[in-house]
Amino acid sequence: MNINVGVKRMSMLQVLEPSGGGSGRHFLDLCRAMQRRGHSVTAIYSPLRAETAFVSELEGMGLHSVIPVAMRRAPGPWDISSWRHIRRIVAEQGPFDLIHGHSSKAGALTRLRLPRWERFFGPHIPVLYTPHAFRTMDPTLGSRGRMIYGGIERLLGTWLSDRLICVSRDEYNHALSLGIPEARLRIVVNGVSAPPSGQRAAIRARYGIPQDALLFGFVGRLTPQKAPERLVEAFARIAGELPQARLLMIGTGDLSDTVRAMIKEAGLEDRAQLDGSISGPTAVDAFDVVVMPSRYEAMSYVMLEAAAGGKPLLLTDVGGARTVIDPGKNGYIVANSDDPTELVTAMRRLADPERLKSFTAAARRRKDDYTLTGMADATEEIYFDLLGYRVPNFLRTPEKVMLSNAS
């Protein structure tokens, strides 16, 4: 327990619907950090899409309470039951100093309340929301969907949120474009532990990849958001001219069969592999370049883990890309397009041994920029400030605080 006895303790409710991806990782890291700092943490998660490893880790933290509440991803009449269940927990398990909802469904269910709520249900409990990428950041969302989802976010963000925490400057700017007031917004960049090192040779041997090969790596869910098919198409274009190049993709998802079919159709089964049996952070050490061709992001954990691993990055122009990349020094940012031309050009550039050596050295110099401690410090400062508590001096030090009003 990392308890500072000079700091006021808080009782908090943390709520999340999806357990996978970056939002699940963030939720686990934040709950653990707040519990270790001596705060009382009650966590609500949805068992409907919960991954076994997520539930096991959450239940093993020693939190005050871990409670499953059935929450469905899609909106519908079932949300009324979920909302009532959460409200019952607030009434029976509290009092809570604050409630923090993560991702769209939990964010909506924790923030929705009736006019004059306090008159019937007691004093207002401050509510915070972390979107982990607004739905409206998806470039494939149609104008009707953008109007509906944008209107909901503007309503909830303006009238029913005490603070809205964005995980990158890009997400913050998007929130402003939706009409959410600047006074409600804060930025806290996600923090990560450095991925394990010393496994480069073993991982390459596992997949039959030569130790001197140029290995492009992908980590992520195989979904339209992450656009893995873009990378396969780009790799197919450069494979003939770069015989030393290999591709290793780590992940599972709806596009798994599509990706495997594309690899087979391109005749690259001996050069490109897809596997979901090892963790992404474990695989990072084996890569020479980490490629993320996503269609949209807020602040991807894969970006941060690759940066913490000291790896050059090749990213599409999505949220968080400019947080981790100094273009032309430790990586490249390419157009967010299904046309792979720019992606192909950047991969060719990184195949130059001297340029890759220079980019790798620059990436290693930045690898300690995004820590879990910094993320927890900044979030805790927002909590203290929102509740009107004295913010401890150690949270005000420049090297720890990653919080910005973006003023």
pLDDT, tens digit (0-9, with 9 covering 90-100), for 335-381: 999 999 999 999 999 999 999 999 999 999 999 888 999 999 999 99
> DSSP secondary-structure letter at 390?
P
Same domain for 204 and 248?
yes
Note the pLDDT tens digit of each residue in 213-230: 999 999 999 999 999 999
Same domain for 259 and 356?
yes
Using pLDDT thresholds of 50, 70 and 90, give the confidence band for residue 3.
low
The residues, ordered by sequence, that sit 6+ positions from 103 with a Cβ below 8 Å of its Cβ are 16, 17, 18, 23, 130, 131, 132
Q: What are the beta bridge partners of residue 400?
A: none
In a domain, 153, yes or no: yes
Average pLDDT, the chain: 92
In a domain, 144, yes or no: yes
In a domain, 386, yes or no: yes
Same domain for 38 and 181?
yes
Same domain for 144 and 270?
no
Using pLDDT thresholds of 50, 70 and 90, give the confidence band for residue 123.
confident
Is 0.75 surpassed by the pTM of this model?
Answer: yes
SS3 state at 105:
helix
Same domain for 286 and 184?
no
pLDDT for residue 396 is more than 90 = no
Same domain for 236 and 138?
no
Beta strands in 260-365 (DSSP E): 272-275, 289-292, 313-316, 331-334
pLDDT for residue 5 is more than 60 = no
pLDDT for residue 406 is more than 50 = no
Other C-beta atoms within 10 Å of 246: how many? 26
Q: Are strands 11-16 and 98-102 parallel, antiparallel or unpaired?
A: parallel
Give the per-residue pLDDT at 392. 72
Using pLDDT thresholds of 50, 70 and 90, give the confidence band for residue 244.
very high
Closest listed residue to residue 34, CA positions, set 5, 61, 73, 72: 61
- Could you tell me the residue range of the domain that residue 376 belongs to? 11-191+371-404
Closest listed residue to residue 97, CA positions, set 391, 377, 387, 381: 387
Q: Are strands 185-188 and 403-404 parallel, antiparallel or unpaired?
A: antiparallel
Note the pLDDT tens digit of each residue in 17-70: 988 788 999 999 999 999 999 999 999 999 998 989 999 999 999 999 999 999
Note the pLDDT tens digit of each residue in 312-340: 999 999 999 999 999 999 999 999 999 99
pLDDT for residue 4 is more than 70 = no
pLDDT for residue 119 is more than 60 = no
In a domain, 28, yes or no: yes
pLDDT above 70: percentage of residues in the chain: 92
Mean pLDDT in residue range 237-249: 97
pLDDT for residue 115 is more than 70 = no
Question: Do residues 49 and 21 make contact, with C-beta atoms less than 8 angstroms apart?
Answer: no
Exposure of 56 by Cβ count < 10 A (0-12 exposed, 13-18 middle, 19+ buried)? exposed
- Residue 88 sits in a domain of what CATH number? 3.40.50.2000
Domains identified in the chain, total number: 2
Using pLDDT thresholds of 50, 70 and 90, give the confidence band for residue 134.
very high
Tokens standing for residue 216: 């492009």
